[in-house]
Amino acid sequence: MNRTLLKDVMARLAGSMAIVLLAMGVFGSQHALAGISATKHNLGSTGTGVNKFDGTGEICVFCHTPHGADTSAAVPLWNRVLALPNTYTTYNSLGTSSLDGATAPVGSVSLACLSCHDGTQAMNVMINAPGSGLTGDATFTGGTWAGANQTLGKIGAGLITNIGTDLKNDHPVGIQYGGGMPAGGAYTAGAIAAGALKDADFKALDHATLNGNSVWWVDTGTAGRQKTDMALYTRTGADSVTYPGGVRTVTAGGLAGAQAFVECASCHDPHTDVNPTFLRIANAGSAVCLACHIK
């Protein structure tokens, strides 16, 4: 190989290395942004938020457990004790004359978020602590808390992240979408057009049946259900039949009486802060609000 050829090969190699490094850098930073480990919801010793517990390097354990989870509300493998719904004062008790959807007892994923965000329960209180034989521990005591936004592991009083138990000053949760389902009779699976909802000021509602469960969402872009859509949550059975428009049948395989509700995770995805404050979509131009409200 002559010198020019060698130089040429070296230059190409350096070029492709640079591309590889650039690609790694790009994916590396995307990964760091998109993953929960780089968010305030990493509460373990590797956490990047203000609040940190040095007793474990695990991340999921503060919210999920593979075994022995709380099943008192429909949240996946929940590792924290959930408060009783009547612990909370709901938004509807404010008495605005414009609210027309019915309010459910605080439940579903909202109850799970509030198990930390109401500020009443320390975040190292978990059902199944990390490690062998610790099932049933009330508090995982194997470490200490650090960070200015907590007091003994509870989210600090007076902070905006401490939602408290009075939800009158928070966007309604456990609230029917669109003021309730279309009036009269059964509706078919698939989208419910905006005008068909009881409250005409709301965007169309999408529906699908997954494994026999009704899932609902408000589309924000690409057709089909994505994490960047506004997720709605199903309340069923006794819970839903008491609501206006509650006695409805989802034809084409859905659950009888199933209803779509707005909960904390309608707007937030707790696993990624690709948008600030864990929002499902960026809120420029109030895009989050306008995803549901026609204003």
Taking the C-alpha atoms of residue 73 and residue 78, their distance in angstroms, rounded to an integer, is 9
Residue 14 CB, shortest distance to ligand HEC, in Å, is: 37
Residue 124 CB, shortest distance to ligand HEC, in Å, is: 9
Q: Which CB, 16 or 213, lies closer to ligand HEC?
A: 213
> Identity (one letter) of the amino acid at 67?
H
**Burial zone of 210 (CB within 10 Å; 0-12 exposed, 13-18 middle, 19+ buried):** exposed
Q: Which CB, 18 or 200, lies closer to ligand HEC?
A: 200
Phi, psi of 205 (to 5 degrees): -110, 135
Q: Which CB, 71 or 252, lies closer to ligand HEC?
A: 71
Both tokens of 4, joined, read 């020019």
Residue 85 CB, shortest distance to ligand HEC, in Å, is: 13
Could you tell me if residue 287 is left (phi over 0), alpha (psi between -120 and 50 degrees) or otherwise beta?
alpha
Q: Which CB, 5 or 234, lies closer to ligand HEC?
A: 234
User: Residues near 60 by Cβ (< 8 Å), separated by ≥ 6?
Assistant: none
Residue 19 CB, shortest distance to ligand HEC, in Å, is: 30
The half-sphere exposure of 102 on its side-chain side, counting CA atoms within 13 A, is 15
Give the footprint of ligand HEC on this chain (CB under 6 A): 36, 40-41, 43, 49-51, 59-60, 62-64, 75-76, 96, 98-101, 109-110, 112-117, 123, 149, 155, 159-161, 163, 170-173, 175, 177, 179, 199, 218, 230-231, 262, 264-268, 270-271, 273, 276-279, 283, 286, 288-289, 291-293
Q: Which CB, 117 or 254, lies closer to ligand HEC?
A: 117
Both tokens of 240, joined, read 């839903």
Residue 127 CB, shortest distance to ligand HEC, in Å, is: 12
